[in-house]
Every structure is written in C-alpha cells, then in structure tokens.
Amino acid sequence: MRRVSIFGSTGSIGQNTIDLIKRAPNEYQVVALSGAQNIARLARDAKDLRAEVAITADPTRLGDLRAALAGSGIEACAGAQALDDAASRPTDWVMSAIVGAAGLAPGLKALEQGASLALANKESMVCAGALVKATAQKHSARILPVDSEHSAVFQALIGEDIKAVERIIITASGGAFRDWPMEKLASATPAQAATHPNWDMGQRITIDSASMFNKALEVIETREFFEVDPAIIEVLVHPQSMIHALVGFNDGALMAHVGPPDMRHAIGFALHWPERRKLPVERLDLAALSHLTFRDPDETRWPALRLARAVMAEGGHTGAVFNAAKERALDHFIAGRIGFMQMAEVVEEALTQLSAKSSLTNAEMTLDSVLAIDHLARNTADAIIAKL
Ligand code: NAD
Ligand code: MG
C-alpha cells in the first residue's frame, strides 16, 4: 500500500484528493490529514480514511479535534510544529494543499524524507523555488505540479527537450470581473470577487483569480518549475477555461492541453504519475463546445501581471516579498479595509520598500531566510495599509 498524506485536506484541493483516494481505498494507507477550522470535516475524513494522525493548524481547536476523534485511535495534534512532524513521517506521496506560505515548511519536510510532493501550494515555488528544488534534488524526491496550468505544461513536455520550447502560454479565465467596466473595480466587494465563473475553489485563490494575483503567482511558478526564460512565458485570457496551457516549440508546433475545469484531472495525474489511470472527469465533446475565445490580458485592469515580471527580473527573495505582501493585502481586502485595486498598490509599494532586503541570492536561501523576509514583508504591507 502506498503511504499518502494530504496537507490542507479540508480545502477544495484536499477534498478533491480525498475523492480520488476513496475510490481505491485498498491502495492507500493515509498517514496524515490536516486542516485548520473545519474540525468536523477533518475528523470525519480521518475516520473514513483511517488516518494515523490528524492535525489542525489552529492550537485553540485541539480540544475539539481530540473530542471528535475520541475512541478512534487516531492521533490528534495541533500547530505548525505538529504539521512538520507529521510531514516527516515516512510517506510515499504527499499532497501539499495548504493555502499560502504556511504550506512551505511541511512540503520541505516531506521532500526531506524522500516523498513525491504533489504541489498545489504554488506559494512554495513562488517564495522559495530554489530551496524547494534543491531540497528535492538532495533527497532524490520528486515534485509534481498540481496547478492545472503547470500540470498541462508538464504533460505537454513529456518526451520533449525543454531547449526546443519557444513559448509557454498559460491561460486565465479572467475571474469574476473580466467584463466589468474598469471604473467599477475600485468598489468591488470581497463577496463579488469570491465568485468564479468556471472553477470551484477556495475563497482566497478565487479572489486572486479576479485580481490575477493568482495568474501572477502562476507565471513565477512556471519560471521556477520549468526553469525557462521569463520572456517566453505568456498569459492568455480564455474565458471558457477548457485549454489550460499551451507549449510552443521551435518548429512552430503548439501543444495544447484541453480538458474540463476539474482539478481531479491534475491531482489524479500527479497521484498516478508516471502512469495514466482512468479518472472520473467529464469527457469533452468538442463539437458541443460552441466556441473557445482568447484575448490578451489588459495590464491596467490586472497590474499583478506586470508585478510578476518585475519579481522574476529581481529574483532571489523577491518572490517571498511579493507573496507575503499579497497575502496581507488580501486579508485586508477581505476584512473590508482596502479596495480591490489597492491590493496591487500595496504589493508594489512593499516590493519597492524591500527591494534591497530581497536581494539575497538563491544560494543564500534557507527556510529561515524565507520566513524572515516573509515576516518583514507582512509587517511592511500592514504599515503601508495603515497609512492609506
Ligand atoms: P482552501 O482555502 O479551500 O483550503 C486551504 C486548506 O489549507 C484548508 O485545509 C485549510 O484548513 C488549510 N489552511 C489554511 N490556512 C492554514 C494555515 N495557516 N496553516 C495550515 N493550514 C492552513 O484552498 P484551495 O483552493 O484548496 O487551495 C489550496 C492551495 O492549492 C492554494 O495554494 C491554491 O493556490 C492551490 N490551488 C488550488 C486550486 C483549486 O482549484 N482550488 C487550483 C490550483 C492551485
Ligand atoms: Mg491554476
């Protein structure tokens, strides 16, 4: 039996992963599941899957988790250290589906014990791509992309030489406001931003889709995963979300990955890699798709895309600053303290203020150096917001 863990099991990616695991219960021994606030769901899944340990990120919820698991024989733990400890248990495959930079440390622990890391947590690659890749290499562990665009590129590259790649195009639905008049965006509310036209995802990534901060993170993630020149990475608005990414080769061929917007494809691909197995996703009837449309993104509407290029040009710890400032700006937007378009202003200002501090090189990158700059960037973003 393969030993598997799911960090962030109570979220959207986590639940889709559990859906796949439950379809073949005899193939998997579930080691750890983790969540934060949704204790009922965490305990239910831990019991259904007979997990060894369940962890809540929130120590104030440990009593509730213990009570919910009483008599089951499943260990209940809480806090960041408990997550790291659980990730250090011998495991073959780990799903990294915590949202935000909090997903970085457990992912590194999983790589250190040699597990294959299915990486939905794009923040790990954005904040610490060099460190994540070096850790995988040192421990002969594999990182498998789960973000749909990156899974699509990964699949289009099977058997190909990366040197023959001329362009990588990742698509974006455009999120909730793609057709809104610009002047309305300043007053857009968190509830309006948290509805997605095509994908059913967690609240934070859904709002990041409306602002294209999600796509900005994914552009940086593409650069880290495939180690290509940032200049060859393009973003294309594709409102139907059927084509997830395209890879263009030097002979003019363009390989597109087409499929329904269902994360179980990318999760299942990472779970079964290098095999392909039957997955419970809709089979597309291309003739029934009346039209697929594409357009270039407008960077006045989505300034995050411009910022992503600046982050890649600077390199080093700039990705960690970008992500942390974005996480705080998003917190403040959700709390109603700043407007939708102010999120990008806050992040840009934080990047400017911390430009010298983020110039540590990739070789100097450690978990501590990343967490230190992440902490500083969060405080910087808070200070910028307090002055707005
Ligand atoms: P979600 O909000 O639905 O779930 C997040 C999970 O992380 C939950 O289990 C939650 O309990 C846990 N969590 C939250 N804060 C935590 C903290 N501080 N410490 C530990 N655990 C914490 O999010 P999601 O949509 O499932 O996304 C998860 C990750 O996958 C994100 O990095 C997102 O960008 C990425 N991703 C998601 C999708 C998608 O379709 N949902 C697609 C591609 C990539
Ligand atoms: Mg994606």
pLDDT tens digits for range 225-270: 999 999 999 999 999 999 999 999 999 999 999 999 999 999 999 9
Whose CA is closest to atom 25 on ligand 1? 202
Do 233 and 165 contact (CB within 8 A), yes or no?
no
Probe target for ligand 1 pocket from 10, 34, 205, with the most ligand atoms within 8 Å of CB: 205
Please report the pLDDT score of residue 361 as a whole number.
85
Alpha helices (runs of H) in the chain, residue ranges in sequence order: 12-22, 39-48, 62-69, 80-87, 104-112, 122-138, 148-156, 182-185, 190-193, 203-211, 213-226, 264-272, 304-314, 318-334, 342-353, 367-387
Nearest ligand, CA of residue 125? 1
In the predicted structure, residue 362 carries a pLDDT above the cut 90: no
pLDDT band for position 202 (cuts 50, 70, 90): very high
**Amino acid letter at 100?**
G
**Dist. CA 101–CA 372, nearest whole Å:** 12
Distance, C-alpha 75 to centroid of its chain = 28
Please report the pLDDT score of residue 288 as a whole number.
86
Please report the pLDDT score of residue 289 as a whole number.
86
10 in contact with ligand 1, CB cutoff 6 A: yes
The residues whose Cβ lies within 5 A of ligand 2, an ion, are 147-149
In the predicted structure, residue 97 carries a pLDDT above the cut 90: yes
Please report the pLDDT score of residue 373 as a whole number.
97
**Dist. CA 320–CA 104, nearest whole Å:** 11
Could you report the per-residue pLDDT of 33-55, keeping only the tens digit for each? Answer: 999 999 999 999 999 999 999 99
Please report the pLDDT score of residue 148 as a whole number.
98
**Dist. CA 61–CA 4, nearest whole Å:** 24
Distance, C-alpha 50 to centroid of its chain = 27
Please report the pLDDT score of residue 356 as a whole number.
87
User: In this prediction, what percent of the chain has a pLDDT beyond 90?
Assistant: 95
DSSP per-residue string spanning 318-339? HHHHHHHHHHHHHHHHHTTSS-
Average pLDDT over residues 347-376: 94
105 in contact with ligand 1, CB cutoff 6 A: no
Could you report the per-residue pLDDT of 274-320, keeping only the tens digit for each? Answer: 999 999 999 999 998 889 999 999 999 999 999 999 999 999 999 99
Could you report the per-residue pLDDT of 147-174, keeping only the tens digit for each? Answer: 999 999 999 999 999 999 999 999 999 9
pLDDT band for position 197 (cuts 50, 70, 90): confident
Higher pLDDT, 361 or 378: 378
Which residues are bridge partners to 145 per DSSP?
Answer: 119
Please report the pLDDT score of residue 357 as a whole number.
86
Do 126 and 217 contact (CB within 8 A), yes or no?
yes
149 alpha carbon – ligand 2 mean position (Å): 5
12 alpha carbon – ligand 1 mean position (Å): 7
14 in contact with ligand 1, CB cutoff 6 A: yes
Atom of ligand 1 nearest to the CA of 34: 9
Residue 115 has which token pair? 């597990």
DSSP conformation class of 317 = T
263 in contact with ligand 1, CB cutoff 6 A: yes
Whose CA is closest to atom 36 on ligand 1? 120
Please report the pLDDT score of residue 199 as a whole number.
85
